[in-house]
Structure 1
Amino acid sequence: MKLTTTSRIAGSAALCASLALAGCGGGSGSGSQAQGQIVDGGTFTMALNADPGNLDPQSSAASALFTISQLAYDTLLGVDPAGGQIRSQLADRWSAAGTTVKLTLRKGVTCADGTPLTARTVADNLTYVGDPKNKSPFLGTFLPAGARAAADDATGEVTLTLAAPAPFVLNGLASLPIVCAGGMSDRTSLAKTTAGTGPYKLTEAVPGDHYTYAIRDGYTWGPNGASTATPGMPDTVTIRIVENPATAANLLLSGELNAAQVTGPDAQRLDKAGLFAARTAAVLGEQWYNQAEGRATRDPAVRLALTQALDLGQLRTVLGAGQATPPTTLAAIEPLACPGGTLASALPAHDPAAATEALKKIAGKTLTFAYSTAGGSAATATAELAVQQWKAAGITVTPKPQSGEAINQTLFGTGDWDIAWAQVNVNSPDQIVPFLSGPGVPDGTNFAGIRNSEYDAAVKRASAMDGTAGCATWLEAEAALVKAADVVPFANQQIATYGAKARFETPGQLIPTSIRMLDR
């Protein structure tokens, strides 16, 4: 889940501004420059459009952190990109029945400091994330609230007892990074170092500039048994902070980068140049309103009017450079747990006259509109168009362009906003629930302060159903939010991570063990 601040809340993600992006989907590759011969070792350099900040992998849902965490941390399970089936990773056996989940750890898994990963350490991770006082955004997202964990180190078994049935609990565990014992005993150390079982270990951190990771020898427990001994894997991974997508595109074309997520007109440049691209579906445009006490956007009539004032089709075209599509579901990362949604039909219709009349009630007020500059010129142009359309409806909206890191602080910290563009990207509808209901900031992740009784009731019904049997009800819940203009998704797109002299897979996030260095 990435707030994706692009791109995971996100990004994962090179979107316009995402708070969270969950890496559970699949990525397809294309491009004429993907045909080079594999070369072993070397350095793989990738751009991120925002600094990850605190590196504790369980501390934030920001896309930049979620992306970088994949290098040093593993999850208990994986999800097959093709069909969505649960697959092994740290756990090689698992079961879920009613309110009981059992996972048996794979033998021989070690942490970067050489210590073995134990069932007790995994249970401690689940207990930490599950404790509300620790304020992990993954509580209720990747781990159901009220879950209790127990461990048996003799058998390597972890038992998770749920407070209530959770239809997609295994999908959530497939996105939850696991911290080793050293990091669990000293959480403050995780801000600047890594303590995981992943294929790489952090060796240098220069915030705002770059992060360097070194490969781990003997790593054999990646997705589908992936190993760092596989030819073509880089010895070093360097993550560079490059906020401007045009700059990232230029660095790809010059060979200074091996990978970067790029959208908009700059993506079209890279396509024309024939660069390799791994693509994954994601929400590209998503609008939120601050419903905190004292905000004009707390009023449902104002939210509806601000939405009616916008020509969402025009915004979609500009933001996606003509490539974006109407929204389908709020959980858009493939493989979708609940496909087949039609959220575009639930969007309030463009009605400037009705908007102008309704907005007279807040005449004279100026609203603050926060959006991320990480989306480059396309995001800026789309934001300017939205401001013009609001002005035509008689309301003054002040745009507040921010870096990805800054907008996360605005949404989850200062609260100084009325309207925001921020994509929350996940692949199952239960993962987004904490962002759409429940406690607001700072006690929870419902940063917009949404209170929609119809949504809450439908979620309660869907949560009691078995897996995909509840999908129709989950989609009904999402439609209730969109009809009420509590959240306004207006654009989806196949987001591309481009590669130069390298190929890789991007199921929501780039998979480190899929990287293959090429000679051209």
Structure 2
Amino acid sequence: MKQTPRPYLLAAPAAVSLAVLLSACGGSGGGSGGGGAGGDAGYVDGATFTLGMSSDPGNLDPLMGAGTSLFTVTQFAYDPLVSVDGETGEIGSQLATEWDVQGTTVTLTLGEGITCADGTELTASAVADSLNFVTDPENQSPFLGTFIPVGAKASGDDGAGTVTLELESPAPFVLNGLANLPIVCPAGNDDRSSLRQATAGTGPYELTEAAPGDHYTYTLREGYTWGPDGATTAEEGLPATVVVQVVENESTAANLLLSRGLNAATVSGPDAQRLDTSGLFSADSPAIAGEQWYNHADGRATSDPDVRMALTQALDLAELQGVVTSGEGAMPSVLAANEPVACPGDSVSGSLPEHDPEAAAALLDEAGWTEGSDGVRTKDGQPLAITFLYQNNLGSSGDAGAELAVQQWKEIGVDATAKAQNETTLTGTIFGAGDWDVAWVSLNVSSPDQLVPFLSGPAAPDGTNFSAIENDDYVAAVEEASQLNGTEGCDTWLAAESSLIANADIVPFAETQARTFGAGAEFAVPGQLQPLSIRMLAE
């Protein structure tokens, strides 16, 4: 049975990214504040680490959803084939200890003694089965085209312990993608339904209790030795148990951190400032916090490019950025902003439409949207009404930003209604072709190729392109960039991004530091919280 994939979100900085997308792929995640690494307090073994998460991950199948909450819990129970150093961007070992890319052939050699949580050996053919599940378009995994190229085919040689991935064409950042793709063990591949509320991975922890909507409990695995660059579960201070607690309200999460009801949570805005002054440990990772998308589907007001451009010109994006980030952010420079950034540069500042409400109003006039006596524009008897969605874990600053956007749209005659939704509901709405016109959805990845399926290709629900974007200039630039090796194509990748931004297909407007605070614990957050970096502190 097909399942609906979900894009990786970072509406309030927390992660990917990945992924995603998406990616647990960025940021040095250095710590600061009280209880830093190597602090005088020392480490405690056998403790419980409680992580606050703003939304429930829903279906726990790690290959069928890429929302922030699911991607966070996936890290505890599953491993990718390789890792990426959060500071240097260099590829390191994980399930694979050796790798080689020759043209369209990728060969990876698995480490010895790797076992799944159920005790079975991880074989090369089992890895190939997991990869081929993603590459089969019938399965509708959101990671197809994001973390593994479309058309790729995997095979495994159990005798040699090698996995071979054959690509249809060269992929400049193929290993970066594989560093974000969780590998599912045979028990999960044989019965996908079993993964909804259980795990079947090789990761350092195993899910032992699932209480959807409330908490998820993970138990440490003994004998795990195949973490990034050989990290193990024998390290001093690793928690014996991890409890992931669903805490939707950010202020509540902040209070729980201060009272030691939580050991970690991602908090932004005024609550982050409050935690900062308390001296708590924090690990920070840069992330896009504000990214505006339009629904291009037929029948929506935003299917009209003039409406999309007018809605963009009506917004004072600099002011909006300041409000959403509580004055602590900046304008993004690239769409793939997670560290280590594969293609640094600036695709944004020279491409964003300028704030010009008069030009926006004139554009709507030309498009036939006339202003009525009530101040709302109409066309063919239909009001210019838009449904605007944003994620509720942006906190009070997100609410204030949404109110500002609605106010500026109403000033040009647009009847805008803002709706705050949790991550699960929001992704279900936009990816299920639901009722929306504008959405704030922040995709955080480190390499521009990981964004391609979200910015082009089949529209949802048939593909990952949930906005139904069709931009020929972007597609042509992507095709050209994909033929170049690694960073050689960066200028072309950035030009591809610029074509989308200039056309108001996507509007990036805020970047900030995703701040994950720790109480009684320290950890690293290079994009996502890394389970093997957690250390419980004696207080």
TM-score range, shorter chain: over 0.9
Q: Deviation string for 1:201-240 (max 9, x for gaps)?
A: 0011111110000000000111121111111000000000
Structure 2: distance between partners of 1:19 and 1:470: 20
Q: Deviation string for 1:469-507 (max 9, x for gaps)?
A: 000110110011000000000001111111011000111
1:243-254, aligned counterparts within 5 Å?
243-254=248-259
- 1:397 aligns with 416
Helix, strand or coil for the counterpart of 1:257?
Answer: coil
Structure 2: distance between partners of 1:47 and 1:12: 17
Q: Offset at 1:168?
A: 0.2
- 1:423 aligns with 442
Q: Deviation string for 1:126-153 (max 9, x for gaps)?
A: 1110000000000000000000111100
Which of these residues, 453, 471, 481, is aligned with residue 462 of structure 1?
481
Q: Offset at 1:401?
A: 1.2
Q: Deviation string for 1:311-350 (max 9, x for gaps)?
A: 0011100100101111111101100111122412211000
Q: Deviation string for 1:58-115 (max 9, x for gaps)?
A: 0011111011100000000000112101001000000011100000100000000000
- 2:186 aligns with 181
Structure 1 unaligned runs (5+)?
none
Residue 462 to residue 414, structure 1, CA distance change in 2 (3 Å): closer
Which of these residues, 208, 223, 227, is aligned with residue 228 of structure 2?
223
Question: Which letter maps to 2:531?
Answer: P
Q: Is the 8 A contact 1:5 1:405 kept in 2?
A: no
Structure 1: distance between partners of 2:92 and 2:489: 22
Q: Is the 8 A contact 1:281 1:495 kept in 2?
A: yes
Question: Which letter maps to 1:492?
Answer: E
Helix, strand or coil for the counterpart of 1:380?
Answer: helix
Structure 1: distance between partners of 2:431 and 2:151: 23
1:185-334, aligned counterparts within 5 Å?
185-334=190-339
Structure 2: distance between partners of 1:268 and 1:499: 14
Q: Offset at 1:365?
A: 2.0
Q: Offset at 1:20?
A: 3.6
Structure 1 position 72 matched with structure 2 position 77? yes
Structure 2: distance between partners of 1:467 and 1:112: 35
Structure 1: distance between partners of 2:276 and 2:114: 40
Question: Which letter maps to 1:21?
Answer: L
Structure 1 position 148 matched with structure 2 position 153? yes
1:149-168, aligned counterparts within 5 Å?
149-168=154-173
Q: Is the 8 A contact 2:84 2:91 kept in 1?
A: yes
- 1:483 aligns with 502
Which of these residues, 334, 351, 359, is aligned with residue 356 of structure 2?
351
Structure 1 position 497 matched with structure 2 position 516? yes
The size of the alignment, in residue pairs, is 516
Q: Offset at 1:394?
A: 1.2
Q: Offset at 1:297?
A: 0.7
Q: Is the 8 A contact 1:37 1:518 kept in 2?
A: yes
Q: Deviation string for 1:375-419 (max 9, x for gaps)?
A: 111111100000000011111101111111110111111421000
Using the TM superposition, name which of 33-42 and 269-278 deviates more: 33-42
Helix, strand or coil for the counterpart of 1:196?
Answer: coil
Structure 1: distance between partners of 2:397 and 2:261: 24
- 1:24 aligns with 25
Q: Is the 8 A contact 1:86 1:171 kept in 2?
A: yes
1:360-379, aligned counterparts within 5 Å?
360=365, 361-362=368-369, 363=377, 364-379=383-398
Structure 2 unaligned runs (5+)?
1-5, 370-376, 378-382
Structure 2: distance between partners of 1:277 and 1:343: 29
Q: Is the 8 A contact 2:384 2:414 kept in 1?
A: yes
Q: Offset at 1:194?
A: 0.2
Structure 2: distance between partners of 1:350 and 1:187: 48
Question: Which letter maps to 1:157?
Answer: T
Question: Which letter maps to 1:216?
Answer: R
Q: Deviation string for 1:161-201 (max 9, x for gaps)?
A: 00010000000000000000111101100001000000000
Q: Offset at 1:19?
A: 7.4
Question: Which letter maps to 1:491?
Answer: A
Residue 5 to residue 410, structure 1, CA distance change in 2 (3 Å): farther
Helix, strand or coil for the counterpart of 1:285?
Answer: strand
Structure 1: distance between partners of 2:134 and 2:16: 20
- 2:110 aligns with 105
Structure 2: distance between partners of 1:59 and 1:116: 24
Residue 6 to residue 244, structure 1, CA distance change in 2 (3 Å): farther
Structure 2: distance between partners of 1:231 and 1:118: 30
Residue 219 to residue 108, structure 1, CA distance change in 2 (3 Å): same
Structure 1: distance between partners of 2:408 and 2:65: 34
Question: Which letter maps to 2:217?
Answer: T
Structure 2: distance between partners of 1:470 and 1:56: 34
RMSD: 1.5
Q: Is the 8 A contact 1:5 1:404 kept in 2?
A: no
Q: Is the 8 A contact 1:40 1:517 kept in 2?
A: yes
Question: Which letter maps to 1:466?
Answer: N
